[in-house]
Structure 1
């Protein structure tokens, strides 16, 4: 009985160390300098002991991959959460595109990591890529989108989104919301919707994650 709190404290300390290492990796990924960083620099940034790194990760590459997967899973889960009540598959897609571009304002670190980790954005097996592919396939099957291959459509969509995020860069800029709407309209039109319908869908208000959580 007396040993259980000690084990719990140890587990909590391990969890804090792992979280600190992942947070440091996210900072480096957002800065685009993760390739040059040493493990010593990572542990210094995380404010943990050098030796503790190897209690959680075997290599720097393993840590960086875990950080990217964490970010993409966080982003994908957010999009699932805030579009869950939509019945129109085209609106689900458009809202996801708009909210992803708006990460430049709302979650700038995530936006930079997505931009700097472009292949993982499309290809990570358990995060955003499969979610987007799922939504595109559903829209194709329902006849909502005129596409032949959802995987090619995903490549087109992710390329457009990444291009816009890269164009926006690191600093706050005016017109981010207009850019988010424009890329969503263009993609909807690419996938077979008329310009009028695409603009009508994109003009709909975006969901508010804070409000959704407050309703539960």
Structure 2
């Protein structure tokens, strides 16, 4: 009897063909939404554009999302999660925790520059701005706490530093997209931001002069 119960419980936790197909359709819609919105812009992209790009029927959209706003949120969450995972993988081999943070922040600016429509969308929407900031700050706090324990970072108040860094990176994104600053000035800005973690400006500038790996 116990064996039958265990088998039934295992089966209930294993996705069946229908649920796998549903998850695949949802993922396809989210990917299509991000791709279409990066080309046409968020406002100009229609649900029909998304379903056509995903090669799915129009009605399938409403099996997963109630509105375009809902899939925009889902696409943003997906982008933040993917970006965070890719950054984690990129900085994992880097021994210097200060340089690792510079590399991580540089990827955020680079993504916005390479996909300016998405970059402006994030900056102009308080909701998506908070999603990006909160999603990446969780990882930043994790890395900072680890470096503090190892004696690498000197941070008196992690909440203050997290807000300074998060706001600083987004300000650099805004200035770069606006054409107010160039890539060299972005690097200078990142060097100044990393000093909040307990490194001198001189050492920070030496780090920023190193080749920065990219995704």
Q: How many residues align?
A: 194
SS at structure 2 position matched to 1:184: helix
Of 112, 120, 141, the residue aligned with 2:131 is 120
**Contact 2:33–2:75 (Cα < 8 Å) also in 1:** no
Aligned residue runs from structure 1 range 129-144, under 5 A: 129-144=137-152
* Structure with larger Rg: 2
Please, which runs of 5 or more residues in structure 1 have no aligned partner? 1-6, 210-216
Of 33, 38, 42, the residue aligned with 1:24 is 33
Cα distance change, pair 25–157 in 1 and its aligned pair in 2 (3 A): same
Which residue of the partner structure matches residue 50 of structure 1? Answer: 58
Deviation at 1:103, TM superposition (A): 2.1
Aligned residue runs from structure 1 range 1-216, under 5 A: 15-16=24-25, 18-25=27-34, 27-28=36-37, 33-34=42-43, 41-47=46-52, 48-108=56-116, 111-116=119-124, 117-124=128-135, 128-169=136-177, 176-209=182-215
Give the alignment's TM-score, normalised by structure 2.
Answer: 0.73
Please, which runs of 5 or more residues in structure 2 have no aligned partner? 1-15
- In the TM superposition, what whole-angstrom CA distance separates every residue of 1:106-162 from its partner, at most 9, and x where no partner exists? 4445544543421101223xxx23111111222333333332232321211111111
CA-atom RMSD in angstroms: 3.3
Cα distance change, pair 26–152 in 1 and its aligned pair in 2 (3 A): farther
SS at structure 1 position matched to 2:62: helix
Deviation at 1:185, TM superposition (A): 0.8
Query: 1:110, 1:32 → 2: CA distance?
Result: 8
Query: 1:138, 1:14 → 2: CA distance?
Result: 35
Cα distance change, pair 113–27 in 1 and its aligned pair in 2 (3 A): farther
Query: 1:55, 1:105 → 2: CA distance?
Result: 34
**Contact 1:43–1:53 (Cα < 8 Å) also in 2:** no
SS at structure 2 position matched to 1:201: helix
Query: 1:185, 1:100 → 2: CA distance?
Result: 15
Cα distance change, pair 25–81 in 1 and its aligned pair in 2 (3 A): closer
